Chains A and B, each alone.
Chain A
């Protein structure tokens, strides 16, 4: 096991930990989804590093799956939760 990679894995985990603060605080919903997006990429990097640390090449498949899946949450959020009504030409009264 390479010590360098273990250190990198720990640092990545700590950045995820720090990013949680934005989820808790973030004033707008976009801030929270943003942090989620960052976690997705950091998680992928973490899985890649772990695949080298643990000498398990199959982890790359998990990283691949995570990458493909990371986009959908934001898209669902933008289309169904945080919407802007086109007819009223601006903010809809019933959206946050």
Chain B
């Protein structure tokens, strides 16, 4: 029975690979943007399964939360805002049943020579990558042995988290800085409409949001804590918490949202500040920047994960919600 099961999983992997390629091709060439976004969400889902099959559970977690969830929501939000722009194809009165043809379409079509060039480029790229791939000697050399040799010094049980937050902590620090920069850019773009959109006026909406949002926070906390020994960590936890917050916003649950308040800004910056702080304190304890001493590494990393998790949740939530309030409305408070 074992061989049949193994063959079955190989077929499974083959189908997943084909689906990924077809989905990627289809959603890039479609003119109907809404259909493309839906296919993108499906793509994120299948990608998560592919990550599982590749053994990368942390990435699968992140892909499920961010790729299939947050990105899809952001794209749909953008599409909805595009439709209300004056340039969209929706000036006329609608006759007949609603159709997707009235949604914005993509721009100019590629010329024939453009297609030829692109095809040639893709073929060259594929053959180069394929050649490189098949010329790698087996067994492939990886850093796995080195990581497991050093993992005792890192203060963390899970190798992925150890690499992210200790061995290559600098990269993660920069990633958090880039995300914060995203919020700064967003806020400097000016006011935009609330993502709440049209009122749905349905009690079920609020009820389900009130149920799922606290559970999201609990699951996020669990992911944050279990990131030490098993797949999880700050990014995944932050993404799940942000999705819980988005559910609250969409579910018309009333809460006070003060866009530029100092409290919010502190939370947004907390991840970066704490991370920098631990790096500098590592210097104080007799190492270089971000070189955690062995005894303190575990504690410092937990601190960083906590701060980064909450920060990332706030950043992603702000990226979804937008903006400063309009100048005409009262500055500061906005009750959602």
B328 at the interface (CB under 8 A from A): no
A11–B282 alpha-carbon span in the complex (Å) = 53
Q: Is the CB of B195 within 8 A of A76?
A: yes
B283 at the interface (CB under 8 A from A): no
**Total residues of chain B contacting the partner, CB 8 A:** 80
| Chain A positions 49 through 68: 1 when the CB is less than 8 Å from some CB of chain B, otherwise 0 | 01001101011011011101
| Chain B positions 26 through 57: 1 when the CB is less than 8 Å from some CB of chain A, otherwise 0 | 10000000110011011001101100110001
A21 at the interface (CB under 8 A from B): no
Which of chain B's residues has its CB closest to A1's CB? B5
Instruction: State whether A96 and B99 are in contact (beta carbons under 8 Å apart), knowing that A62-B61, A64-B219, A75-B250 are contacts in the complex.
Output: yes
A18–B93 alpha-carbon span in the complex (Å) = 35
Partner of A3, one of B8, B61, B84: B8
B133 at the interface (CB under 8 A from A): no
Which of chain A's residues has its CB closest to B39's CB? A23
Which of chain B's residues has its CB closest to A79's CB? B197
Which of chain A's residues has its CB closest to B213's CB? A68
B215 at the interface (CB under 8 A from A): yes
Interface centre among B64, B77, B236 (most CB of A within 10 A): B64
A56–B52 alpha-carbon span in the complex (Å) = 10
Which of chain A's residues has its CB closest to B246's CB? A72
Instruction: State whether A80 and B81 are in contact (beta carbons under 8 Å apart), knowing that A27-B99, A65-B236, A69-B240 are contacts in the complex.
Output: yes
What is the minimal beta-carbon distance from B209 to any residue of chain A, in angstroms? 8
Q: Is the CB of A95 within 8 A of B236?
A: no
A69–B74 alpha-carbon span in the complex (Å) = 13
| Chain B residues closer than 8 Å to A83, beta-carbon distance | 80, 197-198
Instruction: State whether A23 and B38 are in contact (beta carbons under 8 Å apart), knowing that A17-B15, A75-B251 are contacts in the complex.
Output: yes
| Chain B residues closer than 8 Å to A13, beta-carbon distance | 12, 15-16, 19
| Chain A residues closer than 8 Å to B303, beta-carbon distance | none
| Interface of chain B: mostly helix, strand, loop or mixed | helix
Q: Is the CB of B98 within 8 A of A61?
A: no
Q: Is the CB of B35 within 8 A of A23?
A: yes
A1–B108 alpha-carbon span in the complex (Å) = 51
| Chain A positions 11 through 42: 1 when the CB is less than 8 Å from some CB of chain B, otherwise 0 | 00110110010011001110011011001100
A79–B250 alpha-carbon span in the complex (Å) = 8
Instruction: State whether A68 and B102 are in contact (beta carbons under 8 Å apart), knowing that A28-B97, A50-B49, A84-B198 are contacts in the complex.
Output: no
Q: Is the CB of B45 within 8 A of A40?
A: yes
Q: Is the CB of A66 within 8 A of B64?
A: yes
| Chain A residues closer than 8 Å to B16, beta-carbon distance | 13
Q: Is the CB of A36 within 8 A of B8?
A: no
What are 12 A-B pairs at a CB distance below 8 A?
A1-B5, A1-B6, A2-B5, A6-B4, A13-B16, A43-B45, A47-B49, A47-B52, A65-B240, A80-B77, A93-B90, A93-B94
B residues with a Cβ closer than 8 A to A are 1-2, 4-6, 8-9, 11-12, 15-16, 19, 26, 34-35, 38-39, 41-42, 45-46, 48-49, 52-53, 57, 60-61, 64-65, 68-70, 72-73, 76-77, 79-81, 83-84, 90-94, 97-100, 102-103, 195-201, 205, 208, 212, 215-216, 219, 222-223, 226, 230-232, 236, 240, 243-244, 246-247, 250-251
Q: Apart from A3-B4, A6-B12, A85-B198, list 10 A-B contacts with CB within 8 A.
A: A20-B42, A23-B42, A66-B45, A68-B244, A70-B69, A76-B197, A78-B200, A80-B195, A86-B198, A93-B94
Which 6 residue pairs spanning A and B have beta carbons closest together? A80-B80, A69-B69, A79-B197, A6-B8, A80-B197, A83-B198
